Amino acid sequence: MFCSIESVTVGVGNLESSLQFFRDRLGMRVVNDTRASVGLVAAWRRPVHESVRLVDLASAAAIVAPNAGGKKSKPVPASAKTLPAGRVRLAVYEDYALTAASRASSGNKTTAPASGPWAIELASGGEAASGKLMALSGPDDLLVLAAEGAELLNANATSNQRATQLASVCVSSSNLTAATRFYTEALGLQSFNDPQILARLPANSASQAVAFGSKDNAHPKIVVTSFDPPQSAQQLPTSMAVGQLGFNLINIRCDDLDELQKRIHSLGIKPITEPAHVGMPFGYPGRVMIVVGPDGELFEFDEIVV
């Protein structure tokens, strides 16, 4: 079984300001702009009549170049095989007013919660992995980490020099042992106990950090952090949810959902949505399964149907 982290879905209140941040400031490019299918919305446990606009951004290097005739190619992958990993997927809930609780939750994220997602890391293609990370305030107070002095922060750098893409999703864990078992035994991901991971995080952050990713090390990672003792009494657990501002889903490609379901069942985990056939945002048929991780992470596992 093969699982790879493809993207993170982020709920945003204002699409244009979000595009200004990811596209205009950081050099990412729109690779798909569509609406979620009825089947996908149902899998998310949202009202099926809801209109959800999904805008995928990826590295500019993933865009197909213009053809020899000089006509501009559409910046949309032709098939599932050409989907660029490392995407940020913006979700705009056009028929749904974000709740007051969701808006209230979008406060200062510089203090990580006791458990749950707390930041995404963006990196440029040629960036050294040892660079110290600095915190940026993204759309709706999303905490974005980027290496100090990185090309993606250089306004004079070309889009190809930036090649900005999702490098990792940072999740705070209240039980690192349970998190490690979930990511390695259930998902089959490789653990990367690199001491530089902890050193790169912003000051006063985690006391422990382990990264989990695909064995080929070619896709974004989940960086699981823990705090001992907790930073403050306000360090409350958070969770991901579709339909809220900020973190909605971690999107993972899997080649066998049935096998994955057996693995998570052995750990006592029951999917919120069992494998269901849906129309995927890039126009190909697929199956999805929605699962809650050990620290409130919400996963959308996708399988291409051929």
pLDDT for 212-231, tens place per residue?
Answer: 998 877 789 999 998 765 55
Query: Would you state the pLDDT for residue 236?
Result: 60
SS3 breakdown of the chain: % helix, strand, coil, rounded to 5?
A: 20, 35, 45
pTM comes to 0.86
Beta bridge partners of 10: 90, 247
Q: 3-59: per-residue pLDDT in tens?
A: 899 999 999 989 999 999 999 999 899 999 999 999 999 999 999 889 999 999 998
d(C-alpha 28, C-alpha 33), whole Å = 14
pLDDT, greater one: 93 or 112: 93
d(C-alpha 208, C-alpha 156), whole Å = 36
Amino acid identity for residue 88 in this structure: V
Give the rounded percent of residues in the chain with a pLDDT score beyond 90.
Answer: 49
Query: Is residue 167's pLDDT more than 90?
Result: yes
